[in-house]
Amino acid sequence: MKTYLASSIKQFEYYKSLGDKTFAQLSFEELQIEFVQDSNSISIIVKHIVGNMLSRWTNFLTEDGEKDWRHRDNEFIDSFQSKEELIEAWNKGWDCLFSAIKSLSESDLERIIYIRNQGHTVIEAINRQMMHYAYHIGQIVYLGKLIKGEKWESLSIPKGKSKDYNKDKFQKDKGRRHFTDNL
């Protein structure tokens, strides 16, 4: 179980880094692009993720994850005034998540917590949120790639470079390590 917590933290850090690296490639105006009416810009997706994080991870073990102060529908209205404000909100959400998850112990993992009165073990709740964030961060990265086109700097193995990437990996001795090490 200790491995589960450490692995979860590493995985969350990885997803955060994908967002960070996408934001670094885009201007504030690009973060606000909606490709079609009623679609979500990167800015709106960030606002939604942050709202979810603050609700889910605040008092994670003792309060329902859907707080009465959360106004989910408002998360889909872009109100950021600058890229700095967007990044500050993004970091606030992640700080809330990491504060909650890093304070957990192995004995907490089978505890029951609630999201909209639906019981989850802590493991189930972590998995639920990780997949939710991965889904949306994938959208963020994809939108970033669409916006930048040829100027996009790949966040994974660039097309046509798999052979080189694998050659490098297989030159290393077998050993247990997380795939995000050295990214």
pLDDT (tens, 9 = 90+) of the chain, 183 residues, equals 679 999 999 999 999 999 999 999 999 999 999 999 889 999 999 999 999 999 999 999 999 999 999 999 999 999 999 999 999 999 999 999 999 999 999 999 999 999 999 999 999 999 999 999 999 999 999 999 999 999 999 999 888 989 988 888 898 888 887 787 766
With respect to residue 169, please indicate whether it lies within any of the assigned structural domains: no
The verdict on residue 116 lying in a domain is: yes
Whether residue 58 is contained in a domain is answered as: yes
Within-domain flag for 158? no
Q: Please check whether residue 41 lies inside any domain of the structure.
A: yes
Quote the domain boundaries for residue 56.
2-153
Task: Provide the β-strand partners of residue 121.
Answer: 112
Is 68 part of any domain?
A: yes
Rounded Cα–Cα distance for residues 40 and 82 (Å)? 17
Whether 73 is in a domain gets the answer yes
CA 19 from centroid of its chain's CA atoms: 7
Give the three-state DSSP class for 30. Answer: helix
Q: Please give the Cα distance from 74 to 35 (Å, whole number).
A: 20
Task: Provide long-range contacts, Cβ within 8 A and 24+ apart, for 137-143.
Answer: 137/15, 137/18, 137/19, 137/49, 139/40, 139/45, 140/18, 140/19, 140/22, 140/42, 140/45, 140/46, 141/18, 141/19, 141/22, 143/33, 143/35, 143/41, 143/42, 143/45
**What is the count of structural domains for the chain?**
1
Q: Is residue 12 part of a domain?
A: yes
pLDDT at 99: 98
**pTM of the predicted protein model:** 0.93
CATH code for the domain in which residue 107 is found: 1.20.120.450
